[in-house]
Chains A and B, each alone.
Chain A
């Protein structure tokens, strides 16, 4: 379990690292130009921490380690937000040694609830929630239709991307971008983009696992 989940988190880290410049340039337009740098630094620290974990660690231990490390190393708002998300997902995955689509859905729901609580934000404010909430809805609906984890994540990734595109059409009312008011219009939200990248990386990782098993 730990092996697979650690590899999944490494895949997320790799996606963040290779999109570091993209995220930072999106943030330069409406924020403080550090989202990519911060996230890449955070996931690099995560990678170091995970390498010290025992192979027998359960899902909750892995995710808790990710959350704590992001909280202490990211620096921007995305640190406490994603950190809280992983801690809440850890709590939802307590004691699990395999993860069904329904488990993953519950963990995603807990993560989103954590982000909303920490950021006191709702959908439509030009934040990561504009990618995450539609992604969760698509995931849940696929899961209820009995689809596989990869199919659920594919549905989630598509809706997350729609959500990212939607952020271009709205004005930021949360975070640093809200200081720009109308000037934030037309710009894609960096937080929604990193949320999309995380989901896309998870889908790609699970797909590669599935192909390996075949």
Chain B
């Protein structure tokens, strides 16, 4: 069992791209799911799409969400409201840069770490120096 990861972006391409990138660092069977864009292919975030990804990504160890700008967070929190109380207690949004956070969370989750440690890893992405 591993903590699931959901990538929320306004753009389906960004969400899928980040998942592709993160999966390279992950382990086989690790669940990393995109929830990007609107059902009609447009730019935006859809709370119901996020909700479905949260359900699909949770094998019992919980899910961590990495989100891009503003309404991605609002839609994710709205999606949380539709989860049953039990599952809601094991989902969380990482306040972290979406790409770097996704990679660090993936690596941490792949070694079987629990939700708080995966969260910590994602948040540590804020301190990453690139240059």
Show the binding face of A for B, using Cβ within 8 Å: 34, 38, 71-81, 83-84, 118-119, 175-176
Contact = CB atoms under 8 A, between A and B. Distances in A.
A175 B43 contact: no
Interface string B36-74: 001100111111100000000000000000000111001
Contacts of A73: 38, 46
B110 interface: no
Interface string B9-51: 0100000000000000000000000000011001111111000
Interface of B: 10, 38-39, 42-48, 69-71, 74-75, 77-78
Given A72-B48, A83-B78, A118-B77, A77 B71 contact: yes
B42 A79 contact: no
A118 B75 CA distance: 9
What DSSP secondary structure best describes chain B's contact surface?
Answer: loop
Given A75-B10, A79-B74, A118-B78, 14 more contacts: A34-B43, A71-B47, A71-B48, A73-B46, A74-B44, A75-B38, A75-B44, A75-B46, A77-B70, A77-B74, A80-B77, A80-B78, A84-B78, A176-B70
What DSSP secondary structure best describes chain A's contact surface?
Answer: helix
B74 A72 contact: no
Given A80-B75, A118-B77, A118-B78, A72 B46 contact: yes
A38 B46 contact: no
